[in-house]
Amino acid sequence: MDSAALNALASSDPAAYRRAIRDWIATNLPPAWRSDAIDKVDPTLEELKDWEARMYRAGLWGAAWPKEYGGHGLTLREHLIVSQEVGRVPMPESVNSIGKELAGPIILAIGTEEQKKRFIPAILEMREIWCQGFSEPEAGSDLAGLRTRATHDGKVWRINGQKIWTSGGWRAQRCLLLARTGTLEDRHKGLALFALRMDAPGVTVQRIKQIDGEAEFAQVFFDNAPVEEIDALGAPNEGWKAAVRVLEIERATNRMYRAWRLENELRHLVSACRADPNLATLLSDPAYAQRLAQFRIEVEVLKRYVEGAVEDLVSGGSIGARGSLMKLHWSEAHQRFVALAMELLNQASLPPPPEVRAAQRRFRKAYMRARAETIYAGTSQIQLGIIADRILRLPRAA
């Protein structure tokens, strides 16, 4: 089935639309790429780029983006259906999630017509991978304190400074960069957003080795790096508004499939435990059963958050500070769950059966990565402050 046939089902038969997406993934996803596969194989970057381009051509990516920019012209409801089906299967994470779920929506919201026509198709076709240049060594969650500076020399913008914890910076062609055009004392004022070319002169990328042995993050240095006027996103002094919008998207709708992927993790853990006599006994232990049931409840709550946010957006509403509720909920819940998973799996029979070894591999990586989940996109403390200030409207301490 091609994208035109799939998109036609969206309005005529939503149930068939969902089944077609599910069937396409089942037919086309290499079984060894699944995180729960006993004989798992890690795909290469080029294989992942090709896979995501195929998903786009089949109608799975860009569902809700306008047709005139390469999207499929559907609504966020169809995007949610796609996300649910993507989440159900433990497929590899997107190597261009920043482009598809952060840069793309921002460009569609504040970009010029020329920028939309130039950037959006390149993101969907996987010709340009994006990274996000927000965090700095002295300005992580406090973006108003960032020091990377953008100055105009009469022809182009010149960027000087440093970014850190830049996911995928080493493989990206573009950076959604937030830089200061005013003084440090201006705080939220005098910030600008740019679509910086990562191959521009003066840009240096250094990968950061993580606790799990991988090097997904990078630090990026800018030494008088040029940015053309046509790559400035929005007004020069309105970067903070754009940044807040980016963070609202990141906390609420970025990786919308997350709730269904967490549900898949829970199913995988229980299935692996049932394959081992020691672990099967632990599943019936009331203490473990209660903790597993609690996570199941937390997954359902997250689903309702996501589904409610989609309906509000379709109706013309906005996410606002509720994104912080969602981000705080899933990151804290997932940390507890992967710790529980490791606690269980470490009590397996010796030698563990293949199903348990596969689960140990998956959850060992998930456990280490989850340590960062309460930090990136704003720490839990930042989320609590936003919730207290903008949702509960609690008075500030004197």
pLDDT digits (tens, 9 = 90+) for 244-272: 766 666 555 667 899 999 999 999 999 99
Q: Is residue 112 part of a domain?
A: no
pLDDT of residue 18: 96
Q: Is residue 87 part of a domain?
A: yes
Structural domain count of the chain: 3
Instruction: Tell me, yes or no, whether 274 and 379 share the same domain.
Output: yes
Q: CA nearest 78: which of 3, 5, 18, 4?
A: 18
Which 8-state DSSP code applies to residue 41? -
CATH number assigned to the domain comprising residue 154: 2.40.110.10
pLDDT at 335 over 70: yes
Cβ–Cβ < 8 Å for 249, 310: no
Cβ–Cβ < 8 Å for 387, 324: yes
Tell me the residue range of the domain where 186 lies: 130-239
pLDDT of residue 244: 72
User: Greatest CA separation found in the chain?
Assistant: 72
- What is the helix (H) or strand (E) element at residue 27, kind and residue range? helix 14-28
Tokens of 15: 């149930």
pLDDT at 308 over 60: yes
Q: CA nearest 338: which of 45, 26, 35?
A: 35
pLDDT of residue 3: 86
Q: How confident is the model at residue 77 (pLDDT cuts 50, 70, 90)?
A: very high
Q: Is residue 116 part of a domain?
A: no
Per the DSSP assignment, residues forming a β-bridge with 195 are 176
Q: Is residue 109 part of a domain?
A: no
Instruction: Tell me, yes or no, whether 195 and 293 share the same domain.
Output: no
Three-class SS state of 207: strand
Cβ count near 20 (within 10 Å): 19
**Which segments of 38-103 does DSSP mark as H helices, in order?**
45-58, 76-88, 97-98
pLDDT of residue 140: 61
Q: Is residue 118 part of a domain?
A: no
Cβ–Cβ < 8 Å for 10, 17: yes
Residues above pLDDT 90, as percent of the chain: 71
Residues above pLDDT 70, as percent of the chain: 94
* Segment 348-355 mean pLDDT: 97
Instruction: Tell me, yes or no, whether 227 and 277 share the same domain.
Output: no
Instruction: Tell me, yes or no, whether 268 and 381 share the same domain.
Output: yes
Domain end among 208, 239, 270: 239
CA pair distance 53, 379, nearest whole angstrom: 33
Instruction: Tell me, yes or no, whether 329 and 267 share the same domain.
Output: yes
Spell out the residues 6+ positions from residue 334 whose beta carbon is closer than 8 angstroms to its own. 262, 370, 373
* Segment 344-356 mean pLDDT: 97
pLDDT of residue 383: 87
Which 8-state DSSP code applies to residue 350? S
Spell out the residues 6+ positions from residue 250 whose beta carbon is closer than 8 angstroms to its own. 101, 102, 323, 327, 377
Which amino acid is present at 136?
A: E
Q: Is residue 100 part of a domain?
A: no
Q: CA nearest 241: which of 98, 109, 113, 64?
A: 109
Instruction: Tell me, yes or no, whether 297 and 374 share the same domain.
Output: yes
Instruction: Tell me, yes or no, whether 291 and 183 share the same domain.
Output: no
Q: Is residue 106 part of a domain?
A: no
Q: How confident is the model at residue 213 (pLDDT cuts 50, 70, 90)?
A: confident
* Of the candidate ranges 153-167, 234-248, 330-344, the one whose mean pLDDT is the lowest: 234-248
pLDDT of residue 298: 97
pLDDT at 107 over 80: yes
Q: Is residue 244 part of a domain?
A: no
φ, ψ (nearest 5 deg) of residue 209? -75, 130
Q: Which of 85, 248, 250, 265 is catalytic?
A: 250
Instruction: Tell me, yes or no, whether 381 and 263 share the same domain.
Output: yes
* Segment 122-128 mean pLDDT: 98
Domain end among 92, 121, 146: 92
Domain end among 35, 68, 92: 92
Instruction: Tell me, yes or no, whether 304 and 387 share the same domain.
Output: yes
CATH number assigned to the domain comprising residue 313: 1.20.140.10
CATH number assigned to the domain comprising residue 78: 1.10.540
Instruction: Tell me, yes or no, whether 170 and 281 share the same domain.
Output: no
CA pair distance 197, 133, nearest whole angstrom: 12
Is the sign of the CA dihedral 73, 77, 81, 86 positive or negative?
positive
250 catalytic residue (yes or no): yes
Instruction: Tell me, yes or no, whether 233 and 177 share the same domain.
Output: yes
Instruction: Tell me, yes or no, whether 294 and 363 share the same domain.
Output: yes
* Of the candidate ranges 28-37, 95-104, 260-269, 331-340, the one whose mean pLDDT is the lowest: 95-104
Q: CA nearest 167: which of 158, 155, 157, 175?
A: 175
pLDDT of residue 186: 66
